[in-house]
Structure 1
Amino acid sequence: MELWAIWLILAGVLLVVEMMTLTFYLLWIGIGAVVAAAVALFVPDSFVWQVLAGSVVVLVLTAFTKPLTRRFRTSRGFTDAVDELIGKQGTVVESIREGKPGIVKVGSETWSAVSDEQLAKGDAVIVVERGSALLKVKKWRGDV
């Protein structure tokens, strides 16, 4: 199989996975793979040039779009769906101990969570803060 076809297959797989994650990082890598495929079509014997061209495209796209996405996220009216979890009630699915995260269910989603207090399976909790991958919760006592 020709190398340009392999690059295109890789680009297609990355673009499909990107549609499931919505992070833009795999999109840039997929576009870099398309550029590498184009280079492979015109310079078929130089794998190094293919990788270099694809890598440069990925780096440029990442460098130029990072400030744009940061500006968009901090603009007035933008709300991240995860931020809306703060103040919502959930249930502990896997117990939470000090220094060891557990799992909570908030709405229909499960999240890793930490707490300043020990929480047992089945305890009602309320989300007080969110990190990039963890929620911080406290025991819900009906006062919030």
Structure 2
Amino acid sequence: MWILWLIVGIVFSVAEILYSGFFLIWFAIGAFLTIIVSFFTDNILYQSVIFLVISIILLLTLTKHFAKKFASGHTFPTNIDSLIGKKGIVIQNVGKDSFESGLVKLDGEIWTAVSQDGNAIEKGAVVQIHEIKGVRLIVSEAQN
């Protein structure tokens, strides 16, 4: 019978790898622990009950803990978020309010930009990116 539980454990392990939600892993562990029980009894009903009890106890007690532990890891800025904090050069004046956008060159790309504090920013000024809303950079003149 232990081969049955080994196969069940492998199936749940592979399914967890594909799903990766800390749900099926507990059933895989339950199946692997049931292998030990299968050496002491051939009764499939007892083995199944042990499998379900172990799996459900692990599911109810450890899922939230592991999900929080791995979800609260450090995040790294990627794609557009990595632009925040960088500096660019104004190539078309940025107006006084959000209706008067200008153009900023940043990392070789041209972006539409608006002033964060409502002050006009002249062509050639160095600006710092504070936020991105849609496809517009929210900038202010960089302090040296």
**TM value normalised by structure 1:** 0.45
**TM value normalised by structure 2:** 0.45
Query: Based on CA coordinates, which of the two structures has the bigger radius of gyration?
Result: 2
